[in-house]
Structure 1
Amino acid sequence: MPGPAIVLITPQLGENIGMVARAMLNYGCTDLRLVNPRDPWPNKSAIATSAGAVEVINKAKIYFKTCDAISDLKLVFAATARKRDMKKEISSLDDAVREIGNIEHTDTGILFGNEANGLTNDDISLADKILSIPVNKNFSSLNLSQAVLLVVYELCGQTFSNVPLDTSGWRDSRASKEELINFFTQLEFALQESGFFHIKEKQPIMVRNIRNIFHRAQLTDQEVRTLRGVISSLENNFSKKD
């Protein structure tokens, strides 16, 4: 039972990765993904602080880009305690438990930022929803492994308490992150070519806002194919006129 994928973005310390692995295995989660870890990998410090959770450490996958780390997933949450200046649906841990449903499905994931700065807005724009971790509003500072422990306890602890979960069948048709990212790439290129991003300084914010619009729509794979066909048709018509 790998549970949801735990994706650490640019983690800085091997020791913290080891403690994350320990927290994960306590609740049966084994799918650990690392995006550009600062320290070399494999890492002796991570093994030492994992307290025996070497199964998770040995299976950890390394990626250079966040989009590659989540390409096979269909539902991705971005875990953060900070308020973000973007229109993105916010889910509580209870909401996430209900939506993820049966954690034996391997098509869900949680993004966690590094120890110093957390998640970037660009990383959050790749997620479907923000996962809000309730903390003291006057002191919202969690150690990385503490944040992961809170989340996997809520999401995966259900298995050990025999609580029935919603196992709705939306995953059968929902587009994967790879399909969505390919769609975003095609759309953003077409918009670039058309001159839509005429104010260069605003382009990153506009790109994030456009991505968030489609994330909220929870597109199926068929809908993504249709949208890509629409873009291709428009591009072909414009090229004929030229």
Structure 2
Amino acid sequence: MSDGPTQPDIVLVRPQMGENIGAAARAMWNFGLDGMRLVAPRDGWPNPSARAMASGAGRVLDHAVVSETTAEAIAPATYVLATTARPRGLTTPVLSPERAMQEAHSRISRGERVAVLFGPERAGLENDDIARANAVVSVPVNPDYASLNLAQCVLLMSYEWRRASAAVEAETVEMAGTVWANQDEVEALAAHYEERLESAGFFFPEDKAPSMKRNLRNLWSRMPLTRADAQTLHGVLRQMVRWADRGR
């Protein structure tokens, strides 16, 4: 269990099914969250069904704090977010999941403690619960089908927390044991192909040969080639030349 306010507390208010508690724990641990609080779980606690569904995230359940009321569960928090799919007739800031977790991260970085409320599966949070929150989190779902499964909602918020609190690379390339080809290797590949194509009479007519060679060089320059790619293309060309020579 994390010491101090290093992450938000995930508060499940009156959860009905142990399976959903376990699935929520799994969603939390996928993104490094381990602070779960349970408010009056319907089927009591501990719950064997939750343990079975957690699938490796049992540590989250081991440290779950059980409270009888929402007020008790959020008592340590200085900032509370309430997830809800519907307008509740309350005057309160409404944040997207992304913005909510950015705000949570900013406040936690300053030493505050943040709690995120999730309502029971059947009808979500009640107005009395939401009224205790500093802001509401609204997920931009299909308005004709706005209900999210409890664990899905926890997963979504946990993902946004990860994005807000950790460096997430937008794109990476797995190099599979090779490295990017350097300019010398690309130049050697271009020269190899130009030489063989010259021998094959590819650069015709003669007056267009310079522009054809330039376009071919530009093609190699635009390719994100690895060293393995360059070696493979050298081998392809050598084999094609051997095959052509055998046919003569």
TM-score, normalised by the number of residues in structure 1:
0.64
Q: What's the counterpart of residue 163 of structure 2?
A: 157
Determine whether 1:137 maps to 2:143: yes
Higher-RCO chain (CA-CA 8 Å, sequence separation at least 6): 1
Letter in 1 for 2:124: G
CA distance in 1, matches of 2:69, 2:163: 30
Q: Provide the C-alpha distance between the structure 2 equivalents of 1:106 and 1:42, rounded to a whole number of angstroms.
A: 29
SS at match of 1:142: coil
User: Is 2:121 the partner of 1:115?
Assistant: yes
Classify 1:15/1:58 alpha carbon distance in 2 versus 1 (closer, same or farther; 3 Å): same
Tell me, yes or no, if structure 1 residue 32 matches structure 2 residue 43: no
5 Å-filtered alignment, 1:170-189, equals none
Quick check: 1:33–1:63 contact (8 Å CA) kept in 2?
yes
Report what 2:67 is aligned to: 63
Residues in 1 aligned to 2:135 and 2:15: alpha-carbon distance in whole angstroms:
21
Residues matched between the structures, number: 163
Contact 1:73 1:107 survives alignment (8 Å):
yes
Tell me which stretches of 4 or more aligned residues in structure 1 moved more than 4 Å.
Answer: 102-106
Aligned residue for 1:76, secondary structure, equals strand
Contact 1:3 1:106 in 2 (8 A): no
Q: CA deviation at 1:162?
A: 4.8
Q: Secondary structure at the match of 2:98?
A: helix
CA RMSD for the aligned pairs? 1.7
Q: Which amino acid aligns with 1:132?
A: S
Relative distance call for 1:3 and 1:64 in structure 2 (3 A) is same
TM-score using structure 2 length: 0.62
5+ residue gaps, structure 2, are 170-248
SS of the residue corresponding to residue 101 of structure 1 reads: helix
Please give the per-residue CA displacement for 1:77-100, whole angstroms capped at 9, x wherever unaligned: 000111111111111122213312
CA 89–159 in structure 1, closer or farther in 2 if over 3 Å, else same: closer
Q: Which amino acid is 1:52 matched to?
A: G
Larger Rg: 2
* Structure 1: gaps spanning 5 or more residues: 164-242
